C-alpha cells in the first residue's frame, strides 16, 4: 500500500478578536474551517494560503507569519494531512467574488463562538491553530524555503 500524505495550507486571519472562518459542505453537512486547501503543483506554500483564502472567502490577504506545521489523520477516512498554517492580515475584500464550489460563505467568529459550535468543526485543528496563534509563538515566513 502506498502512503500519500496530503499537503495542505490554512490561514488564521484575525480582526479584533474575531477569526475569518469558512462554512463549507462536507459529505452534505455544513462544517467550519479556516480558509484552507491543498497545495497545487508548482505553487509555494505561501501562495497556496493566499489563493485558498481568496477562493473561499473573497478576501485578499498578506501572510505575516507561520503559526505551525501540523500532522493530522482524519478519523473519518484515515487520510493523513500535513497542514502548514499561516497568520495573515486582510488587504482587500471582494464581496462579489465567486467562492469555490461547496463553500457556503465566510464568517467572522470569536474563539468563544467557535467553542459553542464544536459539533460543526471540520477537525480539531481549527482550535489548535487558533490557540497556537493566540499564544504569540509565531515563526518568521523565512522558515518557508522556496524550491530551487
* Average pLDDT across the chain, whole number: 94
pLDDT of amino acid 12: 98
pTM: 0.93
| Cβ density class 38-74: b for 16+ within 10 Å, e for less | ebeeeeebbebbbbbbbbbbbbebebebbbbebebee
CATH topology of domain 6-139: Nucleoside Triphosphate Pyrophosphohydrolase (3.90.79)
3-state secondary structure at position 144: coil
pLDDT of amino acid 7: 93
pLDDT of amino acid 148: 59
Please state the rounded mean pLDDT for residues 112-132: 96
Beta bridge pairs of residue 15: 18
Please state the rounded mean pLDDT for residues 26-44: 93
Amino acid at each position: 500500500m502506498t502512503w500519500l500524505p496530503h499537503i495542505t495550507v490554512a490561514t488564521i486571519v484575525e480582526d479584533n478578536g474575531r477569526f475569518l472562518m469558512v462554512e463549507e459542505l462536507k459529505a452534505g453537512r455544513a462544517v467550519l474551517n479556516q480558509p484552507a486547501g491543498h497545495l497545487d503543483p508548482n505553487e509555494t506554500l505561501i501562495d497556496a494560503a493566499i489563493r485558498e483564502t481568496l477562493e473561499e472567502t473573497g478576501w485578499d490577504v498578506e501572510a505575516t507569519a507561520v503559526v505551525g506545521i501540523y500532522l493530522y489523520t482524519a478519523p473519518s477516512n484515515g487520510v493523513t494531512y500535513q497542514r502548514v498554517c499561516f497568520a495573515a492580515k486582510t488587504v482587500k475584500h471582494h464581496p462579489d467574488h465567486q467562492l469555490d464550489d461547496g463553500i457556503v460563505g465566510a464568517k467572522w467568529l470569536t474563539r468563544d463562538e467557535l467553542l459553542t459550535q464544536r459539533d460543526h468543526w471540520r477537525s480539531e485543528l481549527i482550535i489548535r491553530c487558533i490557540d497556537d496563534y493566540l499564544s504569540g509563538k509565531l515563526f518568521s515566513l523565512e522558515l518557508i524555503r522556496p524550491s530551487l
